[in-house]
């Protein structure tokens, strides 16, 4: 995805922030014993918020591996295939289009086990769900692969008992027109079809996130449709108009309900004091509108891209950038916090655990969530590591699927202590 800059902000993905110091974690209460076989499946339960202000993670469903789909995808290799992930460097890590490397290894975005691991890591940090970066239903370029992975992500989100929502990239329409695959006169009807697809398959789902009973939809733009007419035409046939948010400086063009912020440089320009940084973050969050209900604020850990024409780096500052943006977002009157992003490796805004940052950013989120809601968040920093341990055991192929499925279900239902014991028994010689 390209980077766009306006008013001091960076088009970035989810970043990995380094934690300055981890405080003592509370002891978990004694867990009840689940039934002998398996407990009730998470997808049978209504999604429950972690408590406090809702937090949704912006997620990039665009990674592809030979093992799952026959080839390395361009978001691992670079769009010009300038990297070869099959080559291991002197640092022992694969050659990919990023400064950072996922701790669980390179993955395919359709891998159900990987998705469950990632969602559980988010859940144990206090995150309520995901916002998928989605290019629609066209059959061109890698859009079908992103569409397939997005559907896999939403299925996993339901199984994990979490929420999901979509961020539609109408830049896909611009590209379809540029490639001659869609005529300008056909674009509005195409947008109507996109919205009808979402209505049929997503908006009515109990796990689709809603604001005031309206399904949440973000648009990373508008890029192609620069006025409200096409958006109104696409939403008019729907039984419930989505709660529709576009980029912070463009939302009024799209006739949206409000704007969402992205990554900004402004708060750290010069040599500001800690309080000045927090004040400036608040100013960034209020920029789209003084009405908090017209703004979705975004917290982020930093920015460090790999593009040919690189943008200035926003340092991760040992986790302080994420801590500052998240603390202001949680303290304000804005109804929702977007975390950006889980895994945009090209832009270096990665919250997902990496070899370079470890679990720093998830620990920051967990600490800020606990500061907000106290002991209602019972998961510890050690619990954050359980999903990856389960994934490694399952990928080893050394253990019966029934045992691995049972541990997965224990994790989904929050029985982390019992899951830890069960995993340890499998690891023991």
36-56: per-residue pLDDT in tens? 444 444 555 567 787 899 999
User: Cα angle vertex 336, ends 330, 342, to 5°?
Assistant: 90
Amino acid 66: pLDDT: 97
Amino acid 42: pLDDT: 52
- Which strand ranges, in their side-by-side order, compose the sheet holding 5-6? 5-6, 9-10, 263-264
Cα–Cα distance measured from residue 226 to residue 256, given in angstroms and rounded to the nearest whole number: 11
**Contact predicate 177/184, CB 8 Å:** yes
**Contact predicate 73/63, CB 8 Å:** yes
Cα–Cα distance measured from residue 316 to residue 331, given in angstroms and rounded to the nearest whole number: 21
Cα–Cα distance measured from residue 99 to residue 305, given in angstroms and rounded to the nearest whole number: 8
**Contact predicate 394/114, CB 8 Å:** no
**Contact predicate 347/13, CB 8 Å:** yes
Residues in Cβ contact with 345 at an 8 Å cutoff, skipping those fewer than 6 apart: 13, 75, 76, 96, 97, 98, 100, 102
- Return the DSSP state at 220: S
Amino acid 48: pLDDT: 74
Amino acid 377: pLDDT: 92
Looking up tokens 């024409």 gives 309
Residue-wise pLDDT for 83-93, tens only, equals 999 999 999 99
Amino acid 12: pLDDT: 34
- Which three-class secondary structure string do you get for 58-74? EECCCCCCHHHHCCCCH
Amino acid 428: pLDDT: 62
Looking up tokens 């050690």 gives 382
- Maximum CA pair distance of the chain? 66
Amino acid 264: pLDDT: 93
According to DSSP, the β-strands at 210-211 and 243-247 are unpaired
Q: What is the DSSP string of 109-168?
A: TT-HHHHHHHHHHHHHHT--EEEEEE--S--STTHHHHHHHHHHHHHHHHHTT-EEEEEE
**Contact predicate 358/108, CB 8 Å:** no
pTM value is: 0.90
- Return the DSSP state at 199: I
Backbone angles phi, psi at 46, to 5 degrees: -65, 145
Q: Is 4 exposed, middle or buried (0-12, 13-18, 19+ CB in 10 A)?
A: middle
Q: Where are the beta strands (DSSP E) in 28-112?
A: 55-59
In whole angstroms, how far apart are CA 344 and each of 108, 304, 387?
A: 14, 10, 20
Count the Cβ atoms, other than its own, within 10 Å of residue 344: 27
Amino acid 426: pLDDT: 87
Give the chain's residues under pLDDT 70. Answer: 1-46, 428-429
Q: Is 313 exposed, middle or buried (0-12, 13-18, 19+ CB in 10 A)?
A: middle
Amino acid 45: pLDDT: 55
**Contact predicate 191/230, CB 8 Å:** yes
Amino acid 2: pLDDT: 38
Amino acid 308: pLDDT: 85
């Amino acid at each position: 995805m390209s980077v766009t800059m306006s008013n001091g902000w960076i088009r970035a993905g989810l970043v990995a922030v380094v934690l300055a110091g981890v405080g003592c974690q509370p002891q978990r209460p004694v867990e009840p014993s689940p039934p002998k076989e398996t407990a009730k499946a998470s997808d049978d339960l209504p999604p429950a918020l972690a408590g406090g202000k809702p937090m949704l993670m912006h997620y990039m469903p665009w990674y592809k591996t030979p093992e799952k789909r026959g080839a390395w995808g361009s978001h691992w290799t670079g769009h010009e295939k300038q990297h070869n992930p099959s080559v291991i460097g002197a640092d022992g890590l694969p050659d990919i289009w990023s400064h950072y490397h996922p701790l669980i290894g390179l993955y395919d975005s359709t891998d159900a086990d990987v998705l469950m691991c990632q969602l559980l890591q988010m859940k144990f940090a206090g995150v309520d769900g995901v916002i998928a970066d989605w290019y629609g239903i066209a059959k061109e370029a890698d859009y079908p692969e992103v569409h397939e992975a997005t559907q896999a992500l939403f299925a996993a989100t339901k199984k994990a008992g979490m929420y999901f929502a979509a961020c539609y990239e109408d830049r896909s329409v611009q590209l379809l027109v540029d490639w001659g695959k869609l005529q300008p006169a056909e674009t509005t009807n195409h947008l109507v079809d996109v919205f009808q697809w979402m209505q049929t398959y997503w908006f009515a789902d109990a796990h689709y996130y809603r604001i005031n009973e309206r399904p949440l939809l973000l648009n990373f733009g508008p890029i192609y449709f620069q006025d409200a007419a096409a958006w109104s035409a696409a939403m008019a046939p729907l039984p419930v108009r989505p709660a529709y948010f576009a980029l912070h400086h463009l939302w009024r063009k799209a006739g949206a309900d409000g704007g969402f912020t992205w990554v900004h440089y402004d708060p750290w320009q010069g040599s500001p004091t800690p309080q000045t940084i927090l004040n400036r973050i608040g100013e960034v969050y209020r920029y789209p509108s003084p009405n908090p209900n017209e703004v979705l604020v975004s917290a982020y850990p930093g920015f460090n891209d790999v593009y040919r024409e690189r943008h200035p780096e926003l340092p991760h500052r040992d986790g302080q950038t994420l801590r500052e943006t998240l603390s202001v977002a949680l303290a304000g009157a804005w109804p929702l916090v977007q975390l950006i992003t889980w895994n945009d490796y090209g832009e270096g805004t990665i919250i997902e655990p990496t070899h370079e940052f470890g679990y720093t950013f998830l620990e920051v989120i967990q600490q800020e969530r606990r500061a907000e809601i106290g002991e209602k968040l019972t998961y510890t920093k050690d619990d954050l590591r359980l999903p990856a341990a389960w994934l490694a055991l399952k990928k080893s192929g050394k253990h019966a699927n029934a045992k691995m499925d049972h541990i997965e279900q224990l994790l989904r239902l929050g029985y982390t202590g019992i899951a830890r014991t069960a995993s340890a028994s499998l690891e023991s010689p």
